[in-house]
Structure 1
Amino acid sequence: MTASTAQPAQLLTLFGATGDLAGRMLFPSLYGLQAEGLLPERLRILGTARSELDDAAFRDLVAESIQRHVPDDERCDDALRALLERIEYRAASLDDTASMASLAGAIDARREGDVLCHLSTAPRWYGAVCEALAAGGLGGPGTRVMLEKPIGHDLASAIAINDAVSAVFDESQVFRVDHYLGKEGVQNLLALRFGNALFEPLWNARHIEQVQITVAETVGVEGRGDYYDGSGALRDMLQNHLLQLLCLVAMEPPSQFEPSAVRNEKLKVLRSLRPIGRGEVVGETAAGQYTAGAIDGVAVPGYAQELGRDSTTETFAAIRAHVDNWRWSGVPFYLRTGKRLPQRRTEIFIQFRQVPHSIFGTAPIAPNSLLIALQPEEHISLRVMSKTPGLDRAGLQLSKVTLDLDMQDEFAAHRRRPAYERLYLDALEGNGTLFVRRDETEAAWQWVDAIADGWRHAGVHPRSYPAGTWGPAAALTLAERHGHGWRE
């Protein structure tokens, strides 16, 4: 099944329908699509979870989540009513064979065309759910499955999960979610690169000095301590979000904006990443864990205090990566992510090389740079040099100026869409361009596993950093020893 042959799904079955993700992001996104008339006309939505609820109680739960998470000026009683009319609920326990068989029968009884099953559950259940769907006659063409990250906690577990899913579904039927790929700014990166003649000729090692990708959070573990402590920043964020952003920055132009073409180019980047193993981790990586500090002037506890015990799990990771291919040879890609940092922001910072010769004497010239900010606000800034106003009796003076495209101002008439609106619409229509393919997932895990193994072998433990700072000192020296500095 491909984007060109799939039919719009007529039934969406949401596993984990009473969970946090469903309440915060999934139902508000479905509401947004409903309000704009973008859902397939005959689409039905079947929610399922362990909780014993009837249809009315579940619809109340959905309405409450939309009330809480959709802005007042975007809510419409008619649109909400129309969405709720599509929704049913059926309780099921993922660990109970009879319960899952009954659920599969209910799905089969409701299908009038293609079916999309969104597994918003712990990944360890993916194989069992797929097996139950197959036993109920739902494993063939016409069924698609959306899988939330993380796909495993290392390469071996990722392969096991993928094997269990692929025993039932063809790869073209599997839609692995990395919600960053649904963000407007991430897709605008592709438009910036491949829709303009200005940048692509400069997008290589001859003209670019360094690339920085930052995903910074101000929050702590927020009640997810047990999950996060078994994962850490390396597995929770870097293996998926940051590496996907790196792929979009570094990949070659695909032949067309089509699932296989785009994902083939991303895979080439992942397979070109220089391994960072036991001999390299000390010099090319840094790990940290936040201690008590302050965020926006408010005191916050350290990670161990939030967790309730001591831990060696990293809440911050920084890596100096290299893409060993013709385009990027010698260009460092600095990746960093962490919790309890001073600002919430996701951005890509590209610093171009210095001019080869200055005709302006001693006047300082800063290298050009391009900033692509993805959150909390989306904007693109190009830093260039300009003449400083004046008579220049002591020589012409230069200043840095910014050419800024503010996406909110430029497209103020367009509503900002949550990532899941786009992802749901694509999955319902069978378009896998913005989803992650199996070989991408496993290539990313292979690279990250080598780093984790190197940390264990070298006895690397996270260095402490106070909440509200930009990570441990080791992260600063990671860049400074090569003549670079993080953008802060």
Structure 2
Amino acid sequence: MQTDSSFTFVLFGGTGDLSMRKILPALFEAHRAGGMLADSGKIVAVARHAANRDEYLQWVNEHVKPHVSKKGVDEAAWASFLTRIEFVKIDLGNPEDFTHLRDAIQDLPGIRVFYLATGPSLFVPICHALASVGLNENARIVLEKPLGYDLKSSNAINDAVGKIFAEEQIYRIDHYLGKEPVQNLLALRFGNALFEPLWRREWVESIQITIAEELGVEARGDFYDNTGALRDMVQNHLLQLLSIVAMEPPHSMDSDSVRDEKLRVLRALKPIDPNEIGKVAVRGQYHAGGIRGTPVPAYATEPGVKPDSTTETFVALKVEIENWRWAGVPFFLRTGKRLADRVAEIVVNFRAVPHSALGASALRAGANRLVIRLQPNETIRLYCLAKQPGEGMNLASVHLDLAFDQFFREGQMEAYQRLLLDVINGRLALFVRRDEQEAAWRWVEPILNDWKASNKPPKPYASGTWGPAAASAMLAQHGTCWLEEEN
């Protein structure tokens, strides 16, 4: 992914957690790789918590280095990376301060990228301030999630930003779309004749998509208690992964062809019947328990969380897609905090053979499945049955692995690294278009409204488990179970 594209990358929230853990480490990896970033490219950090460039670089040395990849920090590469970084002290609440930013970057070459690693309440004021000093032209703007609290607030932000930046200038980021296995899912489906004939209702029994975290809300209690798992993870990450799994083959891999097909999936989601929400949606909240032997507190006792909070930290959903390819196939989505393991994966369960001359083992559910692991280890594994060595025709489950770190000599690219390079080079395919976002909010809202109106408390689950028992019961009604329950 070589580039000669000159750029000025302006990072709002330059001292924030996201900048330290993800954005600057990703830019450093691109810099260290050589040739991915134009030599003339500059990074301009914007914050008010540092006095000057020297103080900011000291902050970067302390807070970014621990998050650089396992390869560690090559000090020569690190020193040259720091020469790219400039710093502008700005109070984002004072639009007049943006003249300092304009003066600092007006003579820098190339496309301008404004990355808003801030709270969503600042998106519109920052955009207005950029426009007031003429910085909205020859520019791209990156918006982090969450983009709004519901459909109305999301539209309000998009309307306001859309008056200042054209749609093709707006990059709504979802880092799961930049993960290597998600890219390889597209390659497997659309680059091989093997899977496409099977990728449909006739041969797929069910699909599971899980994003599980061992961590709790950490220091984000104030934010999370007003958000919850449905807004934080389902409306964006899980529905985006669903649309990638279920989309039709695009005409090409250009940005609008891919996003058009994702949009068709989101619009084909079966609307949630308010009378059926209790059967297809499970919400839970973690209580005190243990993670790998370490005691952890209940959600309601976390800092910043209301003691009587009814905010969900776990969601499991049964989703259906009303089109010819997927009609009748259940998609089970699940996400939660303080679960038994940190894992993100897509599980495609194929149907059993219609008749087996080899015994009942060939007819069992899950004999053939594809498991796409997004984290912590990025792999794709295809399960099938084979004869066990020895006398008789005894079958056992075996698997074929695509372990990227073993097969490809070059290192994998982290999701943020890929997506930031796409922004700099003007590639929109892996970013969320406004109509996709609206379709996702529109589908999620009946669940949000029902939970708000009923005011029923979420189902409790002990930290260190896989969530409320009701999530397993929901799958049992369809004759299946979560992958870890099989094992």
Tell me the equivalent position of 2:376: 376
Is the 1:180–1:241 contact (alpha carbons within 8 Å) kept by the matching residues of 2? yes
| Aligned residue in 2 for 1:327 | 325
Tell me if the contact between 2:353 and 2:362 (Cα under 8 Å) persists in the aligned partners.
no
Q: Say which SS state the counterpart of residue 110 (structure 1) adopts.
A: coil
State the AA in 2 paired with 1:336. R
1:296 to 292, 296, 313: 292
User: Aligned to 2:32, which of 32, 35, 44?
Assistant: 35
Distance in 2 (alpha carbons) for counterparts of 1:126 and 1:96: 14
**% of aligned pairs identical?**
48
1:291-342 per-position Cα deviation (integer Å, ceiling 9, x unaligned): 0111111111111121452210000000000011110000000000000110
Q: Is the 8 A contact 1:379 1:407 kept in 2?
A: yes
Q: Is the 8 A contact 1:323 1:329 kept in 2?
A: yes
Q: State the alpha-carbon separation in 1 of the partners of residues 434 and 70 from structure 2.
A: 39
Moved more, 7-16 or 144-153: 7-16
Q: 1:102 to 1:67 in 2, by over 3 A?
A: closer
| Aligned residue number for residue 10 of structure 1 | 7
Does structure 1 conserve the Cα–Cα contact (< 8 Å) formed by 2:210 and 2:343? yes
Partner of 2:388: 388
User: Contact conserved, 1:278 with 1:458, CA < 8 A, in 2?
Assistant: no
Asked if residue 401 in structure 1 is aligned to residue 405 in structure 2, the reply is: no
Structure-1 separation of matches of 2:241 and 2:70: 32
User: d(CA) in 2 for partners of 1:73 and 1:318?
Assistant: 37
Instruction: Tell me by how many angstroms 1:362 deviates.
Output: 4.8
Specify the code of the residue in structure 1 equivalent to 2:374. Answer: L
**Mapped partners of 2:337, 2:4: distance in 1:** 41
Q: Over residues 50-84 of structure 1, what are the superposed CA-to-partner deviations in whole Å (9 max), with x where a residue is unaligned?
A: 22421111122222334211246342222112111
- Could you list the runs of 5+ residues in structure 2 that have no partner in the other structure? none
**Structure 2 equivalent of residue 476 of structure 1:** 472
Question: Against the structure 1 CA distance between its residues 175 and 210, is the aligned structure 2 distance closer, same or farther, given a 3 Å change threshold?
Answer: same
Quick one: structure 1 residues 272 and 43, their matched pair in 2 at CA, closer, same or farther if it must change by over 3 Å? same
Q: Give the match for residue 56 of structure 1.
A: 54
SS, match of residue 483 in structure 1: coil
1:136 aligns with 2:133: yes
Query: How big is the shift at 1:212?
Result: 0.2
Structure 1 residues 449-458 or 478-487, which shifts more? 449-458
**1:24 equivalent in alignment to 2:43:** no
Following superposition, the deviation at residue 402 of structure 1 comes to: 1.8
Q: CA separation of 1:104/1:403 partners in 2, compared to 1, >3 Å: closer, same or farther? A: same
- Name the structure 2 match of 1:414: 410
Q: What aligned pairs does 1:354-369 form with structure 2 within 5 A after superposition?
A: 354-362=352-360, 365-366=363-364, 367-369=367-369
Matches within 5 A, 1:42-441: 42-71=40-69, 73-107=71-105, 109-140=106-137, 142-307=138-303, 309-362=307-360, 365-366=363-364, 367-392=367-392, 396-411=393-408, 413-441=409-437
TM-score of the aligned structures, taking structure 1 as reference length: 0.94
- 1:352-389 per-residue CA deviation (whole Å, 9 max, x = no partner) reads 11111112355553331111111000111111112233
How far 1:390 moved relative to its partner? Answer: 2.7
The alignment partner of 2:83 has SS state of: helix
Tell me which amino acid in the other structure corresponds to 1:65.
Answer: H
Are 2:208 and 2:333, in contact at CA under 8 Å, matched by a contact in 1?
yes
Task: For 2:4 and 2:38, locate their aligned partners in 1 and report how far apart those are by CA, in whole Å.
Answer: 10
Distance in 1, matches of 2:360 and 2:130, equals 71
Deviation, 1:407, is 2.2
Aligned CA-pair RMSD: 1.6
Amino acid at match of 1:390: G
Amino acid paired to 1:385 = L
| Change beyond 3 A, Cα 1:191–1:463 | same
Distance of 2:88 and 2:265 partners within structure 1: 43
Tell me, which stretches of 5 or more residues in structure 1 are unaligned? 1-5
Aligned equivalents of 1:195, 1:460: Cα separation in 2: 47
Q: Which residue matches 1:3?
A: none
1:423-462 equivalence runs, <5 A: 423-462=419-458
C-alpha separation in 2, matches of 1:247 and 1:95: 38
Relative to structure 1, is the Cα distance of residues 110 and 47 closer, same or farther in structure 2, using a 3 angstrom cutoff? farther
Kindly provide the amino acid, as one letter, of the partner of residue 247 in structure 1: S
Aligned pairs, how many?
A: 477
How far apart are the structure 1 equivalents of 2:101 and 2:181? 38
Letter in 1 for 2:316: A
Q: State the 1:405 CA deviation.
A: 2.3
Q: 1: CA distance between counterparts of 2:261 and 2:241?
A: 13
CA distance in 1, matches of 2:435, 2:102: 29
Amino acid at match of 1:374: L
8 Å contact from structure 2 (residues 50, 56) kept in 1: no
Cα displacement string for residues 235-272 of structure 1 (whole angstroms, at most 9, x for unaligned residues): 00111111111011000011111111111111111000
Equivalents in 1 of 2:331, 2:65: separation in Å?
Answer: 42
What is the rounded CA distance, in whole Å, between the counterparts of 1:165 and 1:359 in structure 2?
Answer: 62
Q: CA deviation at 1:431?
A: 0.8
Helix, strand or coil: the match of 1:42? coil
